[in-house]
Amino acid sequence: MKGDNGLLILGFGGHARSVAAVAIANGIKLLLFVDENARDGESFLGFPVRRDLERIPLGWSCIPGVGDNAKRKGQVEFARSAGWDLANVVSRHATVDVNASISPGSFVGHHAHIGPLARIGSGCIVNTGAIVEHESEVGDFSHVSVNSVVAGRSRIGSFVFLGTGATVIDGVSVGENITIGAGATVVESLSTPGTYIGCPARRLAQAGRAVY
């Protein structure tokens, strides 16, 4: 893991704290959150939060720390424009195949699994217990959330959110800007942006009901 000098986590919400917990479990000793909405004196597990980026020590790395896909993209762009070194935080309790790849600024939680030749984009979240199987792709700024499964040779576009426990069966594509509800099962390729629920996953109409 980069960030051996110290890790800056952009954000101070729930996801930032998960990233911190994994970084600490991995053995990192120096950690700082940055969140412009932080209150004076706030901290998490003894690590402080700052409202601005002044006085950040040289040589630190940073990682986006918000769950929202679009905001994570903003954080990655900000980090790149500021010349920051973008780190990945990958739990030591995750299994990442030696032939898998993970682009900078991504998080892989405890007990996640990333199979051979799988590719994870930049600014992604592969959350606790999630599985991205062999030869699958997860596009930039997507979130494969807790216990969800991307089976082999599937393609997940950018800015996709897979809810907790969702499944994408093997060989299927999920296009950009698609949200898959918790527990849904995607059994055929989806390209129309929107929110899909159920098994088989169907798009929610504007009125809030699935289009079957």
Ligand X SMILES: CC(C)(COP(=O)(O)OP(=O)(O)OC[C@H]1O[C@@H](n2cnc3c(N)ncnc32)[C@H](O)[C@@H]1OP(=O)(O)O)[C@@H](O)C(=O)NCCC(=O)NCCS
Binding stretches for ligand X (CB under 6 A): 127, 145-146, 163-164, 179, 181-184, 195, 197-198, 204, 208-209
Q: Are 153 and 136 in contact (CB under 8 A)?
A: yes
Instruction: Name the phi and psi angles at 116, rounded to 5.
Output: -60, 135
Nearest CB to ligand X, comparing residues 32 and 146 = 146
**Distance separating alpha carbons of residues 36 and 33, to the nearest angstrom:** 10
- Taking the complex as a whole, the smallest distance from the CB of residue 129 to ligand X amounts, in Å, to 10
Q: How far is the CB of 146 from ligand X (least distance, A)?
A: 5
If the CB atoms of residues 74 and 183 are measured against ligand X, the closer one turns out to be 183
CB of 125 vs ligand X, minimal distance in Å = 8
Residue 132 or 184 having the CB closest to ligand X: 184
What are the C-alpha distances in Å from 196 to residues 87, 123, 154, 155, 159?
32, 23, 17, 16, 14
Contact criterion met (CB below 8 Å) for 93 and 111? yes
Q: Rounded to an integer, what distance in angstroms lies between the CA atom of residue 76 and that of residue 141?
A: 9
* Closer residue to ligand X (CB): 4 or 68: 68
Nearer to ligand X, 143 or 155 (CB): 143
- Whether residue 115 contacts residue 133, with contact meaning beta carbons closer than 8 Å, is answered with yes
In this chain, which residue has its C-beta nearest to ligand X?
181
Q: How far is the CB of 203 from ligand X (least distance, A)?
A: 11
Dist. CA 139–CA 62, nearest whole Å: 20
Q: Which residues pair with 210 in a beta bridge?
A: 204
CA–CA distance from 7 to each of 34, 89, 107, 185 (Å)?
Answer: 11, 10, 13, 36
| Least Å from the CB of residue 98 to ligand X | 27
**Residue nearer to ligand X on the CB measure, 61 or 179:** 179
Tell me the closest approach of the beta carbon of residue 189 to ligand X, in angstroms.
19
The sign of the dihedral angle between the CA atoms of 72, 88, 186, 162 is negative
